[in-house]
């Protein structure tokens, strides 16, 4: 019964959220975008996510984070030396640019905030392969990432919601853009609020989305400075001494680059409001987590979510939908990638009816024409 109340409340909140989206987003992204062109698209993505989750429940947190890291990165590209009749898209958010690989390892996924911690790429590839087999050149990688995040929220939190779709895939991915745009675990309250405001997300929505830290794991390097000063044990402000001791046992000062620990020490595999309950106990893992406690305005929001899980889940799915509309490409913009990790070549784009025949790999300042396209 409680679960039904949560789902009902989420549906209402989602409807409100859709009404509050900018007019352009409401008109260009729509629930059921593939109902005619690929009616089983969302089912195929859900199957891929469910299969991966059965083998590794931690993949759900990775897919939620993958969507966040895709949407939050704004890519800018301009080269006035190019003499081609083509519009270069200068800014975009949820465009699957995080999935692109680079021949010289300078794509978003190669940046420190993403490498080696970002995961879920293989799940997106599996979902894309299934969708391509059913409906070739129809469903964007950006939409698959958004669907996969929604399905991960459902698997870990028992809440489902509708995802407006119709995103198109971008063709630029630069590591520096990830460094410039993604909020860091060392951010202060002011930096966190400013980072989210830059994406048209409110301070409360920042607190809401921070609740995703209730699932998943973190590399020790993200918080090592809170428990060690070189080889000297320390207890950072906002950390319980007992928690700091536990973290030092899990993450020694010489911890390997791949050492990890759960972010939520109590219910690390469940998307719930426990994250907010841990903050006043000085059990927030990151410096940025503690900022939600010590800042009066942010703390008030965190306290309300600690007291009411249904309220937090309502706001969380609404914020996920809003985040998923950040600077999207739609219509004839961008492309529908045939392989999520590489841009289409000219012949593929032409065959698929894409408007833009030139594409750019990370670090490139000239159009790249694949051999297959020029032969």
Contacts of 361 (CB under 8 A, 6+ apart): 100, 102, 103, 107, 173, 343, 368
Q: Which residues are annotated as a binding site for Ca(2+)?
A: 70, 73, 93, 95, 97, 108, 214, 264, 267, 272
Residue 124 tokens, joined: 């997106």
Q: Which residues are annotated as a binding site for heme b?
A: 213
Measuring CA to CA, which residue among 193, 208, 252, 259 is closest to residue 228? 252
Q: Minimal CA–CA distance to 207: which of 118, 282, 311?
A: 311
Q: Helix, strand or coil for residue 260?
A: strand
First vs last Cα of the chain: how many Å apart? Answer: 62
Annotated binding residues for substrate, written as ranges, equal 183
* DSSP per-residue string spanning 89-111: P---SSSSGGG---TTS-SGGGS
Residues 123 and 28: beta-carbon distance below 8 Å: no
**Annotated binding-site members:** 70, 73, 93, 95, 97, 108, 183, 213-214, 264, 267, 272
Residues 6+ apart with CB under 8 A from 318: 13, 14, 16, 17
Tokens of 332: 């004839």
Catalytic residue among 69, 83, 92, 359: 69
User: What is the distance between the alpha carbons of residues 254 and 72, in angstroms, rounded to a whole number?
Assistant: 32
Q: Is 67 a catalytic residue?
A: no
| Alpha helix stretches (DSSP H) within the chain | 2-20, 23-28, 41-55, 59-71, 121-134, 141-157, 175-181, 189-197, 203-210, 241-250, 274-278, 287-294, 296-307, 309-323, 346-351, 371-374
Backbone angles phi, psi at 102, to 5 degrees: -130, 140
Contact yes or no for 153/320 (Cβ under 8 A): yes
278 neighbors 266 (Cβ within 8 angstroms): yes
Q: Which residues belong to the active site?
A: 69
């Amino acid at each position: 019964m409680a679960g039904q109340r949560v789902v009902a409340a989420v549906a209402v909140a989602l409807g409100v959220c859709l009404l509050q989206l900018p007019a352009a987003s409401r008109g260009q992204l729509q629930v059921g975008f593939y109902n005619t062109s690929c009616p089983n698209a969302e089912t195929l993505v859900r199957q891929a996510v469910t299969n991966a989750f059965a083998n590794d429940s931690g993949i759900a947190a990775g897919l939620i984070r993958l969507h966040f890291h895709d949407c939050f990165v704004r890519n800018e590209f301009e080269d006035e030396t190019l003499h081609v009749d083509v519009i270069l898209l200068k800014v975009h958010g949820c465009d699957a640019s995080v999935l692109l690989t680079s021949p010289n390892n300078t794509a978003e996924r190669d940046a420190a905030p993403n490498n080696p911690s970002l995961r879920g790429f293989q799940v997106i590839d599996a979902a894309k392969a299934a969708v391509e087999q059913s409906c070739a050149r129809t469903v964007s990688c950006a939409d698959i990432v958004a669907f996969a995040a929604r399905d991960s929220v459902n698997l870990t939190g028992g809440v489902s919601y509708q995802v407006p779709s119709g995103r198109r895939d971008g063709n630029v991915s630069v590591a520096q853009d990830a460094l410039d745009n993604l909020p860091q675990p060392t951010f202060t309250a002011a930096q966190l609020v400013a980072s989210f405001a830059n994406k048209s997300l409110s301070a409360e929505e920042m607190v809401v989305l921070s609740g995703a830290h209730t699932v998943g794991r973190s590399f020790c390097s993200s918080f090592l400075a809170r428990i060690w000063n070189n080889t000297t044990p320390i207890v950072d402000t906002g950390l319980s001494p007992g928690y700091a001791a536990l973290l030092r046992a899990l993450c020694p000062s010489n911890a390997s680059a791949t050492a990890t620990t759960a972010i939520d020490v109590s219910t690390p595999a469940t998307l719930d409001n426990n994250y907010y309950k841990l903050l006043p106990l000085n059990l927030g893992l990151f410096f940025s987590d503690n900022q939600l406690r010590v800042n009066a305005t942010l703390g008030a929001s965190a306290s309300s979510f600690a007291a009411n899980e249904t309220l937090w889940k309502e706001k969380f799915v609404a914020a996920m939908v809003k985040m998923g509309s950040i600077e999207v490409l739609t219509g004839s913009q961008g492309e529908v990638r045939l392989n999520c990790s590489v841009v289409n070549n000219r012949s593929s784009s032409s065959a698929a009816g894409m408007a833009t025949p030139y594409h750019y790999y990370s670090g490139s300042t000239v159009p790249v024409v694949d051999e297959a396209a020029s032969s």
